[in-house]
Amino acid sequence: MCIRGAATVCLQGEEMDISRKTDYALRMLSMLAEGEDCLLSVRTAAESVDVPYSFARSIQHGLVQAGIIESLRGVRGGMRLKVDPKDVTIRQIVEAVQGPLVMNDCTAENGACPRMDGCCYHPLWVGAQELLRSYLDSITLDDIVNNRRYPAVDPKFADRANFPEYASCSKGCSCL
pLDDT of residue 169: 58
H or E stretch at 23: helix 20-34
Contact 78, 42 (CB under 8 A): yes
- When mean pLDDT is compared across 16-20, 40-44, 68-72, the lowest value belongs to 16-20
Q: What is the mean pLDDT of the chain?
A: 81
Question: Where are the chain's structural domains?
Answer: 1-14+101-176, 17-99
Predicted confidence (pLDDT) at residue 1 exceeds the cutoff of 80: no
d(CA 96, CA 86): 17
CA neighbor of 143 nearest in space, from 85, 102, 93: 85
What average pLDDT does the segment 14-31 reach? Answer: 84
Whether the pLDDT of residue 8 is over 70: the answer is no
Residue with more model confidence, 171 or 153:
153
pLDDT at 45: 92
Using 50, 70 and 90 to split pLDDT, how confident is the model at 97? Answer: very high
More confident site: 165 or 141: 141
Give CA–CA dist 15/21, Å, rounded.
16
Does residue 170 contact residue 113 with C-beta atoms inside 8 Å?
Answer: no
Residue ranges of alpha helices (H) inside 121-171 are 122-137, 141-145, 163-167
Residue 38 DSSP SS3:
coil
* Architecture of the 17-99 domain: Orthogonal Bundle (1.10)
Q: What is the pLDDT of residue 10?
A: 28
